[in-house]
Amino acid sequence: MELWYTEKQTESFGITAKIRETLVTEQTDFQKLDMIDTEEFGRMLVLDGMVMTTIKDEFVYHEMVAHPALFTHPNPKHVLVVGGGDGGVIREVLKHPGVEKAVLVEIDGKVIEYSKKFLPEIAGQLENSRVEVIVNDGFMHIHDHKNTYDVIMVDSTEPVGPAAPLFERGFYQGIFEALKEDGIFVAQTDNPWFKADLIQKVNRDVKEIFPITRVYAANIPTYPSGMWTFTMGSKKHDPLQVDETQIPELETKYYTPRLHKAAFVLPKFVEDLTK
């Protein structure tokens, strides 16, 4: 018998992956959580029926959330990751030796628990001494920590279910206040083929709050359309003004100093969404 997992990315289009084994299928307090082992992409975390991460392609998302912002800020010491319970963004953040403390605020403790158990390649740095893991509502944490962080990364699910408030203008205002005077934030903002409206809305909201707003993109095969966008809001530092020759080479598989600015050069139809 062959078992295939199919995700409908839209009402009429999807991806399908042959699976070896189902490791977890559970309704947590917040969402449906499935952990499956696929032949093509290895182990895969699925929340509310949407692929969150896989062993084979996770590096793209996690590197591209973390490094553009951390190499735009000249001296990031205190970093907050909202969501991201699989620990992949945290792993990338810790590659920056100047980061003294990385705080992870994940609303669903089960995501952390099962990621540690089944995705150790991704979650392996959550026990690092520079990391503080908090199981709580990111919205509340932001509200309670004014002028605290150099960089804030929003590694959320889609704007349905528990992550819906993380795409509201009020959340971006809270992030602005939780950042220090030269702070930077970045959020995953879905894909331009099926969710153009979302990219436009976030862009408008962030522009109203932050002096500098930039959008960049990366290729993630298991995410809808294969192209994912990230929106950056910055109080002072512009990612496009960074001197790429001064960026050190990290151990990465996607991000490079050469890609730092190139990732912000968008296809015409995506560029048009940010105007």
Q: Which residues are annotated binding-site positions?
A: 31, 62, 86, 106, 137-138, 155-158, 162
By CB under 8 A, tell whether 171 contacts its own copies. no
- 102/220 with CB nearer its own copies: 220
Of 264, 153, 275, which Cα lies nearest the Cα of 215? 264
Site string for its own copies, 177-196 (x = CB under 8 A): ----------------x---
Q: Does 253 sit near its own copies (CB under 8 A)? A: yes
Provide the total of helices (H) and of strands (E) in the chain, helices listed first: 9, 12
Size of the site for its own copies (CB under 8 A): 42
Please report whether residue 147 would count as binding its own copies according to CB under 8 A: no
Pick the catalytic residue from 34, 57, 108, 155: 155
The CA-atom distances, in angstroms, between 215 and each of 38, 123, 141, 190, 271 are: 31, 27, 25, 11, 8
Tell me which of 137, 143, 225, 236 binds its own copies, using CB under 8 A: 225
Give dist(CA 118, CA 26) in Å, integer.
Answer: 14
CA distance 181 to 98: 18
Residue 179 near residue 210 (C-beta atoms within 8 A): no
Classified as helix, coil or strand, 229 is strand
Write out the catalytic residue numbers.
Answer: 155
- What residue ranges bind its own copies (CB under 8 A)? 6, 10-18, 38-41, 56-57, 60, 193, 217-221, 224-227, 252-256, 258-259, 261-262, 265-269, 271
